[in-house]
Structure 1
Amino acid sequence: MTRSTRTVDEQAFRELVTAHERELLLHCYRMLGSFADAEDVLQETLVAAWRGLDGFEGRSSVRTWLYRIATNRCLNAQRDARRRRPPEPVPPFDPPTPTRRGEVTWLQPYPDALLDTAPGPEARSSAREAVELAFIAGLQRLPPRQAAVLVLRDVLDFSTAEVADLLGTTATAVKGALQRARARLDGQVPDHAPRPGSPGERDLVRRFADAYTADDVEGVVALLTDDAWLAMPPAPHEYRGPAAIAGFLGASAASRAGRRFLLVPTRANTQPAFGCYLAGLDQPVGLLVLTVRDDRISAITRFLGEDLPRRFGLPC
């Protein structure tokens, strides 16, 4: 965009930024871990861009300019504890003592329908890892500016100089932050995951759904890795290992007095997922996401929230 095009009407502005909205939403989600907060910050970014359009000098691309605004808006949002940490829900039954209390209670799933298809096998693999729940949760445990540097450099492939300019810091500071972030995130993304939608993944997911909806705790446990986790954002309760997970699932089933779950398949964060309902489709209770490693399930993330299925185009 040149100086002669800086003064534009709203329609022209929309055409200018529409091509970048989806990737900016995903960027905000990586930074914040919450889909709802990412939507809010994206709107703030677009409003700020519109208001600041006359000051855009064209020294960088429109995309880079928008990423500067979005990144700094995300950093501002992370300073707001009220926005970042939702209230802890009260369980409808007395759950077993958790293995630990999770820190990232604001984590939410991201609909695969909003992900762009990458052009090649290597790009698809990289894009998949950069949105998996383990990676997103790992980013939330980093200091915010470290997370911003890692996303801008390793995921979005901005240069060190560009990241320094975006964040208003030095190249030396960027290199140091990136080194520390990489060290802390090492091993956060599970490997040996089957190809999304492969026959092996489909069979494993089908067997899980059959066992889970039948309250067949033993059947679910048989599909888990030895180090599997069950988490339930925004509740902080986390259960590690088949025995602990079985204890929670058994207590949950007993509390429902025969009322079973219905699962409607979808995909979130490039992973198999389900809209979760009680008593047919008239009572949504959240979204369930599976992390698959080899031929087993290494994590079950049961996101609580009646409105979550709606975000995935499911009945609500």
Structure 2
Amino acid sequence: MSDSDKYPDDSGRRRFVKGVVGGAALAGVGTTGAAAINSATTSPGAGGGPTQAYAIENTAGPAPRGMPQIPIEIDSDGFIKGVWPEVKTVTQNGIDVKIAETDDYKGSGVTYSSAWFQYCGVQSYGGLAPDYESDNYFRADSGGYDWQQDAYSAGDKLNIEDFGDYKEWGNGIGRAGLGKPATGTWRSQDAEDTMPIQILRSERIEEAAQDNDWLAASTDQGVIAWLNKCTHFCCVPGYKQAADAAKFNAEDGVYCQCHQSVYDPFSIVQTLFTALPRPD
């Protein structure tokens, strides 16, 4: 399954967003076995089934696809929050259920849904319930980076002002100046389970958002975010956090130390997978 969501390598300049056609078409042309399975098996229950999501691309290792992107906004005080889809009630199999889904997110033409995050057990987390009460701000965890440990205590809201040196930042792993990261949590205040996230502020994201509708809608001031759960065995990877990442040419990517899956936060792709249903 290592090729289930892969695309041919680009020649020349990188494309930041790579498209994928609908599940039925993928299955019809036999692009990958996993895609055929995804389009043929629908999980019953709240919010389960074939799902297209935007994700940071999986480029190496056993992970079957990228990790899903979280659209973000920055408030007037500089605090960074993940945007939660619109909560509404729909009828499924004769039963009224609440879902979180936004059609045509900010005019991008993309349907953004909480189903993007329904894998690795996250579908059972309290924070993923459509009507879970949360202010949606990203909050610092114990800190995956020295700068973050100095700037925040666990639970503090992440603020754009603390990423001011993003064009120069480095920590001795890979190249400096690609962007400044932070780790944190989302929709996890007073919840039993923690939804880990990672954010990155980068000049490359700023540039890509200038001519891409989805990135213009889902990023802000060069900040991009994703749910930080490896799609292989659900470990928590890291951007420029592991010294041994260089052994796998992953020093400038998001690297999972468990089984050496690698993700590219500068390549945003559309993935097709079967979202697991939330408990009723």
Please indicate, yes or no, whether the TM-score normalized by the shorter chain is above 0.5: no
Compare relative contact order (CA 8 Å, sep 6+) and give the higher one, 1 or 2.
Answer: 2
Name the one with the larger helix percent.
Answer: 1
TM-score, normalised relative to structure 2: 0.31
Name the one with the larger strand percent.
Answer: 2
